[in-house]
Amino acid sequence: MQQAHLSALETRHADIEARITEENQRPLPDMTTISRLKKEKLKVKEAIAGLH
């Protein structure tokens, strides 16, 4: 069960990273969105670290 949860968190982390990259590549990146995504990514990273 824990392995499935870890895998889901890692997938979510990668998805958030892709969204940040995508937003940064726009002509006028929305810094509010980027900031929110980075905070969300950090929470997921902390959850992953808590499982190791």
Range of the domain at 39: 2-51
pLDDT digits (tens, 9 = 90+) for 1-52: 689 999 999 999 999 999 999 999 999 999 999 999 999 999 999 999 998 8
| CA distances (Å), origin 6, targets 17, 21, 36, 37, 46 | 17, 23, 22, 19, 11
User: Please, where are the H alpha helices in 1-52?
Assistant: 2-24, 31-51
pTM, entire model: 0.89
Nearest alpha carbon to residue 52 among 13, 18, 10: 10
Q: How many domains does the chain have?
A: 1
